[in-house]
Amino acid sequence: MASHLEKVPYDILLYITILSAATSICRPPAELLSLLLASHTLHHALNVGSNAHLYARLFQYHFDLSPILLESPMTLVNDATLADEYILRQRFLFRSRSSSWDPTSLRSDMWIGLRMLLENSGTNERQLFAANFHQELIKLALIYIDDNKTCTHSRELKYLLVWLLSLTLSKAEIAKIAAETREELCRLLRYHFLAQVRAGFSS
């Protein structure tokens, strides 16, 4: 199969790749990964460094992007930008699906989640839901929004988690959370907000 695809003209290979990978919404892009792993020649032709246009096209199939960004003269949204963001979002979704968060990249991952929510037109929300991000977010909040004054978790990460919770959890979803988990989450959030109020008065 790989040997046949290696002989296909480049524009046809690109078209085949887009058609096969564009349907992998709300799941890992297995078709694209299979093509990348099929042979060295295909990997060279289809990797993100050689083919930003391909990944920019796939971004448009798999994710939403704010029209404001696309139309703004203050931002540069080109193929390279979308290709890089596509890779970042797919890695983020993989970590969410597999619950394999890396503490060293968690803050940047939460920024990706926030971008997806703020730019959501429907597709981003479906991607996050399919990756179980709502449940993962609760787990992360219970770990990183703590009331330990000696904690070294970054303040920025805590703010991001609180913001993400406010954007993702509806009253109906909160009601579905196990009572013990819900009480612990509420306790941590109350502590967090009271700490910010105290800090505001003392500054």
Give the pLDDT mean for 27-48.
90
pTM of the predicted protein model: 0.83
Q: How many helices and strands (H and E) does the chain possess?
A: 13, 0
Asked if pLDDT for residue 162 goes beyond 80, the answer is yes
Asked if pLDDT for residue 179 goes beyond 80, the answer is yes
Give the pLDDT mean for 127-138.
94
The share of the chain scoring above pLDDT 90, in percent, equals: 42
Q: Which residues contact 62 (CB under 8 A, 6 or more apart)?
A: 22, 24, 25, 29, 86, 89, 123, 127
**pLDDT tens for residues 107-124?**
999 999 999 999 999 999
Phi, psi of 126 (to 5 degrees): -65, -40
Which secondary-structure segment (H or E) carries 112? helix 106-118
